[in-house]
Amino acid sequence: MKQLIECVPNFSEGNDPVLLRQITDAISATEGIELLNVDPGKATNRTVVTFVGEPAAVVEAAFQGIRKAAELIDMSRHKGEHPRMGATDVCPLIPIAGISMEETARWAQQLAARVGNELAIPVYLYEEAQQNPARKNLSVIRAGEYEGFFEKIKKTEWKPDFGPVEFPAKTGATVIGARDFLVAYNANLNTTSVRRANSVAFDVRENGRKVKNEKGEDVVQPGACKSVKAIGWYIDEYGIAQVSMNLTNIAITPVHIAFDECVKSAHRRGMRITGSELVGLIPLKAMTDAGKYFLEKQQRSTGVSERELIKIAIKSMGLDELGPFNPDERIIEYRLKRSSGRLVGMTLTAFADETASESPAPGGGSIAAYLGTLGVSLGTMVANLSSHKKGWDERWKEFSDWADKGQALKDALLTMVDEDTNSFNRIMQAFSLPKGTEEEKKARTTEIQAATRYATEVPFKVMQLSYDTFELIRAMAETGNPNSVTDAGVGALCARSAVIGAYLNVKINASGLSDKAFAADILAKAETLCQQAKLAEQEILQVVEGKIGS
């Protein structure tokens, strides 16, 4: 798997677009990285930049961004609402794919050493890149901020990890580290009071607040949410106070829980959360989990499309209150996804035209996968209709769970529509390999066999997925909304056709395999699935006919 690291440097400038463009141009000029997001804040006078790529490219791009920021930003003139200590205030590296936190920390240490040595900027390591437990926490390192660091840096315990031990007035210092994915998230309040916003922040954040115990001693009263840091501030740009939060582990406290805890606290204190604001990007799962959470609170089916879940999350948390929220720009997986599959991204008309053209692909395998998709989509529709049926309120969760299963199968089968065509194209590419020498002939034969095996496995997977849909379709025919029983019947017809159609592709591709043991095994399994699918279809149609005739 390709190693991917995300980098999210925070630059102490949020008002000068020309200056910011020079910094992001310096980052983008590095080959092998993709700039995902630039999120300036006027009141905070701070910009969060997000880019991703392989480790060496990300470290080079980060260095060039830090160098350019050091040239352009004069910290002696900087003012802003957000705590800060340098032109590049903080620069975390985050493991995304194929790389461990330990490896990411080593890359962060390399970047820090280069910044300190080549740019003469004091650098502090933090989080997983920092070995000293007393210096892991960003807020502890940054305490005193820019103004206080002229004296702080002289203290033995605050000697930088890299770079000079004098605090440069123009660039300030930089904190570089490795951490888990952090979500920067602000809840909007219907007040202008920073004091009241802080009261909500103290209720919510893990560190809570100091209170007096019965002995009059100061003790810490923890807040409601673990792995959440929060403060209150006033944003002149919006004319409101916010609870500004860093969610350092969204597996422990997801965004929707932090939002709801703010709602509860604000309500207790006579205020209201009017919406919220995401700074930078967010993982897809955080948004779909939020959508499911709010649907469950409404006792509505969570088995809806991914896009619908995202829409519910946006509206429930008011993420579009202060400005548009475009999921394609704000969700990290969507930004990394170059495009959807060539076939599944087509309109129905274009897909039909492409199938009917002189091109041999898409062919029966892709069509079989799409038949399976349509079959399970009908079953999922019945589940959602049943979940929302008047008078069936006590059964909404039962049908919601069925719809969830249907959505998962639907998404898996949609992937196979393009994958079947891809597997056919791989065979064609293998046959076009050179065969002028014995080595070339051997390599060509090996690749043809590997491609043919894969082209056999793909339709077999379509068979398995399509057969798995019968459980849902049968349940909907038997117990779902009786007004939609014929939809379940059509779903069964589609599922059976998908299994048998994919079987034909398994048979023809397996015939070209030199590994006869593998071919015999997969054909035997495929034949069993065919027989089981035919029987399942008959049983479901009997249920449907019985209900229609009654």
Task: Catalogue all structural domains in the chain, each as residue range(s) with its CATH number.
Answer: 4-178 (3.30.990.10), 183-336 (3.30.70.670), 348-549 (1.20.120.680)
Q: What percent of the chain has pLDDT over 90?
A: 81
Candidate from 147-156, 350-359, 376-385 with smallest mean pLDDT: 350-359
Comparing CA positions, the residue from 140, 302, 160, 159 lying closest to residue 229 is 140
- Could you give the angle at the alpha carbon of 178 between the alpha carbons of 317 and 282, nearest 5°? 20
- Give the dihedral sign, CA 505/511/515/517: positive
> Cα 276 to chain center, whole Å?
19
Strand partners, 221: 209
The residue length of the chain stands at 550
Report the pLDDT value the prediction gives residue 539, as an integer from 0 to 100.
96
Helix, strand, or coil here: 390? Answer: coil
Q: Is 393 a catalytic residue?
A: no
Among 89, 161, 289, 420, the active-site one is: 420
Tens-place pLDDT, residues 394-423: 899 999 999 999 999 999 999 999 999 899
pLDDT > 50? residue 340:
no
Among 16, 82, 320, 388, the active-site one is: 82
Helix, strand, or coil here: 271? Answer: coil
Q: Whole-angstrom Cα distance, residue 79 to residue 170?
A: 13
Within 10 angstroms of residue 478's Cβ, the number of other Cβ atoms is: 14
Q: Do 200 and 272 touch, CB atoms closer than 8 A?
A: no
Q: Buried b / exposed e across 406-426, counting CB within 10 Å, b at 16+?
A: bbebbebbbbbbbbbbbbbeb
Tens-place pLDDT, residues 207-261: 999 888 888 888 989 999 999 999 999 999 899 999 999 998 888 999 999 999 9
State phi, psi for 3 to the nearest 5 degrees: -80, 130
pLDDT > 90? residue 167:
yes
Q: Which helix (H) or strand (E) holds 285?
A: helix 284-297
Q: In which band, very low, low, confident or very high, does the pLDDT at 550 lie, cut at 50, 70 and 90? A: low
Q: In this structure, which amino acid lies at residue 45?
A: N
Q: Whole-angstrom Cα distance, residue 275 to residue 187?
A: 6
Tokens 């079959």, located at residue: 375
Q: Whole-angstrom Cα distance, residue 268 to residue 270?
A: 6
Tokens 């896009």, located at residue: 307
Q: What percent of the chain has pLDDT over 70?
A: 99
- Report the DSSP pairing between strands 123-127 and 174-178: parallel
Q: Whole-angstrom Cα distance, residue 401 to residue 223?
A: 33
Q: Whole-angstrom Cα distance, residue 228 to residue 530?
A: 52
Q: Is 420 a catalytic residue?
A: yes
Q: Whole-angstrom Cα distance, residue 175 to residue 86?
A: 9
Q: In which band, very low, low, confident or very high, does the pLDDT at 341 lie, cut at 50, 70 and 90? A: low
Tokens 């919220």, located at residue: 276
Q: Whole-angstrom Cα distance, residue 192 to residue 244?
A: 14
pLDDT > 80? residue 487:
yes
Strand partners, 228: 247
Helix, strand, or coil here: 413? Answer: helix
Instruction: Quote the strand ranges of 30-135, DSSP E.
Output: 33-41, 46-53, 88-97, 123-127
Q: In this structure, which amino acid lies at residue 71?
A: E
Q: Do 120 and 31 touch, CB atoms closer than 8 A?
A: no
Q: Do 182 and 228 touch, CB atoms closer than 8 A?
A: no
Helix, strand, or coil here: 229? Answer: strand
Q: In this structure, which amino acid lies at residue 515?
A: D
Candidate from 141-155, 184-198, 341-355, 397-411 with smallest mean pLDDT: 341-355
Name the residue with higher pLDDT: 501 or 352: 501
> Cα 79 to chain center, whole Å?
33
Tokens linked to 203: 């209720």
